[in-house]
Structure 1
């Protein structure tokens, strides 16, 4: 008997990524994912074994893409502030592109969904450690004044990432004031806007004020 196409697992993951933000762990059914992927529902079990394993693979696939890019931009012997800036830009782009998925993971975790909780426990420390290590290196190289590490990290996330979550969420449910809507992409969500906020945030940290 021939082996099912190896493309089916990727088709299932792509369908799951499309459906998951709206349905979450509880609402996402094997049958619905299979229908969206155009394959037999049995293929979910064939490739992944169970719905929970499928959900873990779905979330992990997206995270690993971001973490691989983050690891690449943060490593090396280049200027630490340039590496920190590039790392922040990579994280911010990931949040911008996957905000609905990230919001659902947090909602599921808070609702007690074990898959989401386990995913966050396993992965959140990974990218946080990379960013915190860059901040520590910048301080050790006298590129940033000595300040509490978590205070600096919280400031950066608030300045760079929080607007993506807040304004992106407002835009998705159509509650951005009409007078501001035209400026949202250019002034909040674009790469240029991200780079401006990163530059301002790092200048603020460097000033030590």
Structure 2
């Protein structure tokens, strides 16, 4: 019996990327997924074992895309502060591009979906730990003031990443006054806006000479 095409698993994952943010763990059925991918529903079980196996693979694949970007910045040239700023930029752009998926993972985890909860427990410490290490390295290099590490980390995330989640959410809901909505892209979501927030946040944490 010929083995099913290897392209089918990639077609399923591509379809899952399109559907997950809308449907979540509970709403994404095997039949709906297979229809979107143009394959037989049995191929979900053939390639991934189960619907939960598919979801684990899908979420992990998307996460690895983000983590690879962070790792690339950390391994590149520059001092600890340069690497921290580059990693913050990489993380922020990923969050901007994948806000609906990130919001859905949070919602699924809070709704008790085990796949989402297990995913967050397994992966959140990886990128959070990496960024914490970068801030500590910048402090040891004399580039940042010595402050409580968790407080500094929360400040950086609140300054750089949180606005993307909030702005993206209210933009989708359409609840902003027109004058605010018109400037949202340029002043909150653009590369320039992200870079400006990073610059302001780092400037406030720099060690005084």
Give TM-score, length-normalised by structure 2. Answer: 0.96
Q: Which runs of 5+ in 1 are unaligned?
A: none
Partner of 1:149: 149
Q: CA deviation at 1:180?
A: 1.5
1:24–1:104 CA contact under 8 A, matched in 2? yes
Q: CA deviation at 1:76?
A: 4.6
2:142–2:207 CA contact under 8 A, matched in 1? no
In the TM superposition, 1:133-172 aligns within 5 A as 133-172=133-172
Partner of 2:46: 46
Q: CA deviation at 1:22?
A: 1.5
Task: Give the number of aligned pairs.
Answer: 208
Q: Alignment partner of 1:40: what SS? A: coil
Partner of 1:110: 110
Counterpart Cα distance in 2 of 1:55 and 1:144: 40
Instruction: Tell me the alpha carbon deviations over residues 100-130 of structure 1, each in whole angstroms, 9 at most, x when there is no partner.
Output: 1000101111111100000000000000111
Counterpart Cα distance in 2 of 1:201 and 1:207: 13
Q: Which runs of 5+ in 2 are unaligned?
A: none
Counterpart Cα distance in 2 of 1:144 and 1:207: 5
1:167–1:176 CA contact under 8 A, matched in 2? no
Partner of 1:29: 29
Moved over 6 A (4+): none
Counterpart Cα distance in 2 of 1:148 and 1:47: 46
Q: CA deviation at 1:45?
A: 0.7
The answer as to 2:94 corresponding to 1:88 is no
Assess, with a 3 A threshold, how the Cα gap between structure 1 residues 22 and 51 changes in structure 2: closer, same or farther.
Answer: same
